[in-house]
Structure 1
Amino acid sequence: MKQAHHPATEDVALEEVLSALGDPVRLGLARLLADGRERGWGQLAAPVAKSTLSHHLRVLRDAGVTRTRQEGTRCFVVLRRADLDARFPGLLAAVLEAAEAHDAGAGVGLRGTGPA
């Protein structure tokens, strides 16, 4: 099975991270993953088509915001908090805090549990 590309920590670009987190669905995914838990793609629910959700997950991965792992036919995603904090100290915390305060990305959640 094809392995996903993840940029090395030192190659993560600020403009790519900010662009990736500038979309409400992707920001909601980051908020959902902020607890540090790895989630299966099938667990994720968003107000977009499955193919669009897959696109959003790819954008986050390509920007260095998340790491994707494949296990057989299943895919799992986790927030690269330590890498982002090492590269841009305080950035992720500030973005997530502001997103929480403004309820940004609230339409994203886990299947069967409602929005995050």
Structure 2
Amino acid sequence: MFNIDFIEIASTFIVLFAIIDATGSVPIFLNLRSQGKSINPAQASIYSFVILIVFLFIGEWILGLFQVDLQSFAVAGGFVLFIISIEMIFGVEVFKNDGPDESSTLVPVVFPLLAGPGSFT
């Protein structure tokens, strides 16, 4: 009935584990905590899962709707990650944050760190 290819599953897991790089995001999590922002791990996991599943099934359609090719999306996502890193390293505010000051679960933790352009492509 179902033909399960464990080698394909393992290789996909390894690639996504390397791209998502949860261990490499630890300094960012610590920086957010030192700024007094809270991160809800369960909520971040659920948001990441939903974003990745939605993009798995309708991601190409969404990009086609806006006439954006996958390579351009990956480059633009890299620029967003670069700007967020500049904000965190130098303490400047490039993007105005009008959200609640105490919560940082969705941005920048879920998107673009956990479910970002690398995991979409």
TM-score after normalising by structure 2: 0.28
The structure carrying a bigger helix percent of its residues is 2
The structure carrying a bigger strand percent of its residues is 1
When Rg is computed on C-alpha atoms for both structures, the one with the higher figure is: 2
TM-score after normalising by structure 1: 0.29
Q: RCO (CA 8 Å, sep 6+): is it higher in 1 or 2? A: 2
